[in-house]
Structure 1
Amino acid sequence: MRGVAVTVADRPDLSEKAWQCTSDLMPEYNNHGDVLDEYWPRLTAELPEYQFHLLGDDEQILARARSIPLHWDGTPDGLPPGIDGALIRGFDGREPNVLCALLVAVPRAVQGRGVSAGALMAMSGIARRHGFKSLIAPVRPSAKERYPLVPIDRYATWRRPDGLLFDPWMRVHERLGAGVLKPEQQSLRITSTVADWEGWTGLAFPESGAYWFPGGLATVDIDLSADRGLYFEPNVWMHHQL
């Protein structure tokens, strides 16, 4: 199931519908971020031609996707520091030469039908139309939440007995020809009050320390004296040569 990609520039009216169909997919904490809060709204406002929705029959939302063009020198060391770095770099005024994937969200009702692969293919098509020869992605490994204490450096190397990458979302990228560039330990920074973190996670934090929480890819560091919870979400950089 591939659907038809329609950009926000062409159909801004679909944005609210797409959000309603996909708002329950990510843990609540993932809707916040020190850098994310500032830059995310600018994607649809300033770069609508790179944001799109995948539509099925009768304009059913099959996927909501976000991306950002940026400059990259082609080396692993030259990658921005994760999602936060990609957002900052994408608005730094330099001439972009690659497209960076930021989000592919597929409604639960159509998951398991190959929609995510179709959305990545559509994103690659948008990259090509804008003259880019690469699509890079700070991939959020979907099964990492089951192994929050395993460092992302090791997790990113795990493979199944058949030789394919262990993580399902990383594997979708791999099957479309992407290779792993490097893990990113501190891709997305989320800092907020202890009360916020307790509300987002449904947990109580009686003392300062590192805590695992449902949906987290790593632990959150709670500091009661500073009334602060600090979390860095890890990602894995992958590269599609177009």
Structure 2
Amino acid sequence: MALKTVDYTERPDLWKRMPELFEGVWPEYNLHGDVIPGYWDRLHELFGNYQLVSHDPDTDDVLATARGIPCRWDGSHESLGPGLDAAIVAGFAEHDAGIAPNTLCALGIEVAPRHQGRKLATTMLEALRSTARAAGFGHVIVPLRPTWKDRYPLVPIGRYASWTREDGAAFDPWIRTHLRGGGVVAAAIPESSLITGTIAEWESWTGLSFPETGDYVFPHGLATVRIDREAEMGTYWEPNVWMVHESGLSR
């Protein structure tokens, strides 16, 4: 199958089928972040050329997507910031202030369930690098969501990110893919994206009951959710790992 990658400004119609084709890619709780939903429509309006789709040009079947936001970064690992939420807020603030970007921050890569296992995530990662290169940006930075972290929700993200297999390769498959693609691990962020909701909402999202105040492991969670029965609220911070890629821009 010969695939083609286009951005939102070229084929906005392809995005109309996303909810149906990509159902189940993200755990339900991940669809209810405190920050991201408020920026979603404006992301496509202002930064449509950084929202990418891989599709079959013969059938228009959508296989994978990659989303990004341009930002300003000084190149130091220390200044990458506290994670996904902060990167989104900063990207829009910098745009509104007229600050010229020099970096592309990847917000997520999704592969339709029936097309998984075909290394399309790697294809979309390279598409983000190509897009950054075409825009004159030197780097792609990624607040990565480790694939297997939900198997070890009680392990701090810094320790988890440092794990390796017996052959010396990174333990986590998604971190390993980024490293093989030339990326480097820059920082582990324990509080990257905030998700809060009522206890009823968290019970709906997870299928669990939370009888008392405390920290709970839950399905697909990368860390624990803090349940406060008195406040009737659940609070969860999704951890991420900052990865840094050179775009391949000639200097």
- Matches of residues 100-139 of structure 1 in structure 2 within 5 Å? 100-139=105-144
Matches within 5 A, 1:145-224: 145-224=150-229
Measure the CA separation in 1 of the matches of 2:80 and 2:29. 25
Q: Which residue of 2 aligns with 1:46?
A: 46
1:142 to partner: Cα distance: 0.7
Three-state SS of the structure 2 residue aligned to 1:125 is: helix
- The answer to which of 190-199 and 17-26 deviates more is 17-26
Task: Say if 1:208 and 1:224, in contact at 8 Å, map to a contact too.
Answer: yes
Letter in 2 for 1:194: I
Q: TM-score, normalised by structure 2?
A: 0.93
How far does the alpha carbon of each residue in 1:64-88 deviate from its partner, in whole angstroms, 9 at most, with x for none?
A: 2111000111111101211101101
- 3-state DSSP class of the match of 1:229? strand
* Range with bigger deviation, 160-169 or 182-191: 160-169
Aligned counterpart, 2:24: 24
Shift of 1:2: 7.8
Unpaired stretches in structure 1, ≥5 consecutive residues: none
For 1:42 and 1:237, locate their aligned partners in 2 and report how far apart those are by CA, in whole Å.
24
Of the three residues 128, 146, 151, the one matched with 1:141 is 146
| Helix, strand or coil at the partner of 2:162 | coil
State the shift of 1:38 in Å: 1.3
Partner of 2:72: 71
Contact between 1:63 and 1:106, CA under 8 Å: does it hold in 2? yes
User: Kindly tell me: are residues 2 and 140 of structure 1, through their superposed partners in 2, closer, same or farther at Cα, counting changes over 3 Å?
Assistant: farther
Shift of 1:155: 0.3
Identity, in percent, stands at 48
* 1:93-104 → structure 2 map (5 Å cutoff): 93=94, 94-104=99-109
Superposition TM-score, scaled by structure 1 size: 0.97
Q: Is the 8 A contact 1:2 1:115 kept in 2?
A: no
SS at 1:145's partner residue? helix
Higher alpha-carbon deviation: 38-47 or 5-14: 38-47
1:237 is matched with which residue? 242
Q: How many residues align?
A: 242
Distance 1:11 1:228 in 2: 40
